[in-house]
Amino acid sequence: MKKKPLALWIFTGLALGIAAGMLLMGRPDIAEIYIKPFGTLFLNLLKFIVVPIVLFSIMNGVISMKDIKKVGSIGGKTVIYYMCTTFFAVTMGLLIANLFKKGFPVLSTSSLEYTAAETPSFIQTLIGIFPSNIIQPMAEASMLQVIVVALLFGFGTIVAGKKGEVFGNFVESANDVSIAVMSFIIKLSPIGVFCLITPVVAANGPQILGSLAFVLLVAYIGYILHASLVYSLTVKSLAGIGPLKFFKGMAPAMIMAFSSASSVGALPLNLECTEKLGARKEVASFVLPLGATINMDGTAIYQGVCAVFIASCYGINLTLSQQIVIILTAVLASVGTAGVPGSGMIMLAMVLQSVGLPVEGIALVAGIDRLFDMGRTTVNITGDAACAVIVSHLEDKRLKKA
């Protein structure tokens, strides 16, 4: 493991998993019973370490900055970047979908039934960000609430001055221990990726070749174009990092995100990759957990493609004004559904409702949502990483001027 880079081992696990999944397409139950549990075990370990990593790393980062205004500066740059890239992402999704919509299959909508989850109001989302106790956010791995807890204790330690130094030392030690535990878990990544991807390919292989294959292909074209254009341009122009270096450094986290379809599950590896790319620990520790919750570039592309596809199945041609409404709704929904379980489907329901499309249309793509999710999660975490290295570079430049 030490002689070859981790990315190569993880890619090998991915390739072997896809091959094993294809061999088991006739018997997906074997992969489900004997292989998937080990993938779930690995994903549980990743989720287990996420809360302590986020909690202690953000607290440690805030304390080390010694300035509440500096945290505000980083937060402002982060939110602006996420909102801008989400805008470009949903626009990209709509453009690609309109370009290829003549090739979309027209599926029957007569027997569709789908009950959309309740969309939280802005006030409900705002209230939900602030926890009523300190244990619940950690027990439920509610990332936005964990971030709020970490920020409040970090600010409190700064304000306490010398009296807070003992607590600050404890946080620094706890952060180092959490990182050490994370490094043990990450070494299992090749095996974990194999066990996560094999049952997905075994169960969904026939569907990949089915009627929705072209819709899936269009979404992935959007994912690849957005990542290769938007992230390449921004990391090069704003962080001075070449695209090849960036994507090569991000390969382990991207493969993990693709296999697990979990932004939170890929977070520990994403933290490690961004720090190797030059992001400062305190910046990455704040930007990445926030991004895992509110940054949904891949999901925004998915909204655009699915909205055009569902509209075509109902025989509806979306006007320019309707597509502008989709763009605005997707951007606002990415923040409005932050931290809500199943936010991708909730966002799609909001987008469809915003232009008068039947929510039942979601049932057309729900069957292969996992396949869409693998790609959109990969884009999401790559966008988080791009933001981390960019904000870190901008903060370094600001400090040099000061």
* CB-CB neighbours of 367 under 10 Å: 12
Q: What is the mean pLDDT of residues 258-272?
A: 86
Strands (E), 13-111: none
Handedness of CA 139, 144, 146, 148 (dihedral sign): negative
pLDDT value for 169? 94
Q: Say how far apart CA 265 and CA 255 lie, in whole Å.
A: 12
Q: Say how far apart CA 373 and CA 342 lie, in whole Å.
A: 11
Look at 234 and 28; give whichever has higher pLDDT.
234
* Contact predicate 204/370, CB 8 Å: yes
Q: What is the mean pLDDT of residues 274-294?
A: 87
Q: Average pLDDT, whole number, for the chain?
A: 85
What is the percentage of the chain residues whose pLDDT exceeds 70? 91
Does the pLDDT value for residue 142 go beyond 80? no
User: Can you read off the two tokens belonging to residue 77?
Assistant: 């740059």
* Contact predicate 95/307, CB 8 Å: no
Chain position carrying tokens 């979990």: 262
Does the pLDDT value for residue 330 go beyond 80? yes
* Contact predicate 143/339, CB 8 Å: yes
User: Can you read off the two tokens belonging to residue 230?
Assistant: 């938007």
Does the pLDDT value for residue 383 go beyond 90? yes
Does the pLDDT value for residue 122 go beyond 70? no
Q: Say how far apart CA 169 and CA 176 lie, in whole Å.
A: 11
Q: Say how far apart CA 299 and CA 86 lie, in whole Å.
A: 9
pTM for the full model?
0.84
pLDDT value for 117? 58
pLDDT value for 340? 53
- In this structure, the dihedral spanned by the alpha carbons of residues 82, 40, 369 and 140, taken in order and rounded to 10 degrees, is -50
* Contact predicate 297/258, CB 8 Å: no
pLDDT band at residue 113 under the 50/70/90 scheme: low
Q: What is the mean pLDDT of residues 145-160?
A: 91
Query: All domains of the chain, ordered by start, with CATH?
Result: 4-398 (1.10.3860)
* Contact predicate 17/193, CB 8 Å: yes
Look at 393 and 119; give whichever has higher pLDDT.
393
Q: What is the mean pLDDT of residues 38-54?
A: 87
Q: What is the mean pLDDT of residues 134-155?
A: 87
Q: Say how far apart CA 330 and CA 324 lie, in whole Å.
A: 10
- For residue 315, the 8-state DSSP code is T
pLDDT value for 209? 56
* CB-CB neighbours of 22 under 10 Å: 13
Q: Which helix (H) or strand (E) holds 80?
A: helix 68-100
Q: Say how far apart CA 50 and CA 263 lie, in whole Å.
A: 11
Name the burial class of residue 188, with classes exposed (0-12), middle (13-18) and buried (19+) by CB atoms within 10 angstroms of its CB. Answer: middle
Does the pLDDT value for residue 342 go beyond 60? no
What is the percentage of the chain residues whose pLDDT exceeds 90? 35
pLDDT value for 66? 79
Does the pLDDT value for residue 1 go beyond 50? no
pLDDT value for 254? 94
Range of weakest confidence among 185-199, 234-248, 343-357, 370-384: 343-357
pLDDT digit string (tens) for 203-253?
A: 876 655 566 788 999 999 999 999 999 999 999 999 999 999 999 999 999
